[in-house]
Amino acid sequence: MGVLLMLMTIGGFLAAAIMLLIGAIGKKKWLRNFTLAGVVVWAVFYGVMLFGSSIASREKTLAINEAKEYCGFYLDCHLHTAVSGVRRTDKIGDRPATGEFYVVKVKVFSDARRAVLGLLTVDAHVVDEQDHQYSRDISAESRLAPQPEFEGRISPTESFEKEIVFDLPADVKSPRLDIREGYGIDHVIEAVLIDDEDSIWHKRNLFGLEIAEPQV
């Protein structure tokens, strides 16, 4: 629904611009006023739908192997990620953790029938109970076995798994992984896309990491 309303909005604004131009050329004041009134009514309706759906949204914590889909502004939602495993350790190679390493295995897969697809500019970070954010520890990741890139393109029914590392405080509470993808322009569009996870104030789907057990 969000995509269709966005397309209707873009089409409506283009039509309104044409009508305003016609009204200005023909000096038709009634047409200008009618068009402006329609634009205001639609803008108010769209704003209520946008912020209302975001306020009504609820944060969801995804379990192990529970998939998250990526749609953005596009009509297809074929790409997915899921956390397929989590392990904790105090050391990776010769690198000790400041707190504790969480090594998170992320599965990327597609259910497309024909298209070869790939995620775009992936941002993966952890948030805790107090909404503190933790970035990936790239230095620790470099000590793992060679890993595929998140942005690797996959054919229909293909998948791959990638391990990413976070150095989290030993007393961290409710760590959850947030994965977001897309270019800057994608985020701008999605910010005003009704009921999209990346729209303004919308709650997110996060991967729970508390299943992790210390490595023996």
Q: CA distances (Å), 64 to each of 39, 57, 82, 181, 205, in order? A: 46, 22, 7, 20, 13
* Gyration radius from the chain CA atoms: 22
Q: Is the pLDDT of residue 214 over 80?
A: no
Percent of the chain with pLDDT over 70: 94
Query: What is 60-214's CATH number?
Result: 2.60.40.1240
Specify the DSSP class assigned to residue 47. H
Residue 212 falls in which region: left (phi positive, over 0), alpha (psi -120 to 50) or beta: beta
Pairing of strands 123-127, 68-70: unpaired
**Res. 117 pLDDT band, cuts 50 70 90:** confident
Tell me what the mean pLDDT of segment 24-48 comes to. Answer: 92
pLDDT at 75: 56
What are the tens digits of pLDDT across the range 7-26? 788 888 899 999 999 988 98
What are the tens digits of pLDDT across the range 75-115? 567 889 999 999 999 999 999 999 999 999 999 998 888 88
pLDDT at 73: 53
Instruction: Enumerate the domain spans of the chain.
Output: 2-56, 60-214
pLDDT at 127: 97
Q: What is the mean pLDDT of the chain?
A: 89
What are the tens digits of pLDDT across the range 124-166? 999 999 999 999 999 999 999 999 999 999 988 789 999 999 9
Query: What is the value of pTM for the model shown?
Result: 0.82
Percent of the chain with pLDDT over 90: 64
pLDDT at 216: 46
Close Cβ partners of 41 (under 8 Å, ≥ 6 residues apart): none
pLDDT at 71: 76
Tell me what the mean pLDDT of segment 184-189 comes to. Answer: 79
